[in-house]
Amino acid sequence: MKRRHLLQTLAATPALLPAQQTSPSPDENAVLAVDSPESAGLPVRRFFTPDQFSTLQSLADLIAPSIDGRPGAKQAEAASFLDFLLAKSPRDRQALYQRGLDTLIRTSRTRHQKEFSELPSAEANALLTPLTAKWTYAAPKEPVAAFLRAVKADIIRATANSRAVAEANVAGRRRATGLNPYWQVIE
């Protein structure tokens, strides 16, 4: 009996299925508008205060400026990436950045009575003299020098791996080794 019941069920199955639908013509397909991620909105600051962020932007522009039409840290939005990165970084790395940026802000206000971001390049570079010291494997003992060394490496790395530099490399037919990946903050 069980086999007969199975065969009857299989024979009745096509009657239970809906009739096949015809596929729509290409003219009937819906067309979706596609926008770039950049048009969605401005990035949200995650870690730095407004003063710290503007100081970091100015510092990034001094460390990795745009040269010969090649994108610099400002065009690569390296400060925004570092803000995103430091929000997820270990606490000691966050403290290094906060203390270092606060020291630059305080020093520029006391010596020049201006914000770091408002200083001319010559005056701003005078505050970055620890970067001119000879490089050694040992980390600097002075906190500001340790911060400047770390932020310089991070800014250069963020700029070199940015979308702006990757697009400039493609536009200029400049080939790099590897796949030339870049970072992009995903909300």
Contact 73, 58 (CB under 8 A): no
Identify the pLDDT of residue 185.
58
Distance of CA 72 to CAs 55, 78, 159, Å? 16, 9, 7
Please state which of the ranges 21-30, 104-113, 124-133, 174-183 shows the lowest mean pLDDT: 174-183
d(CA 9, CA 6): 5
pLDDT single digits (tens) 80-93: 999 999 999 999 99
pLDDT higher for 162 or 22?
Answer: 162
Contact 156, 64 (CB under 8 A): yes
pLDDT higher for 131 or 61?
Answer: 61
How sure is the predictor about 96, in pLDDT bands with cuts at 50, 70 and 90?
A: very high
Asked if pLDDT for residue 13 goes beyond 80, the answer is: no
Identify the pLDDT of residue 117.
87
pTM, full prediction? 0.69
Asked if pLDDT for residue 62 goes beyond 70, the answer is: yes
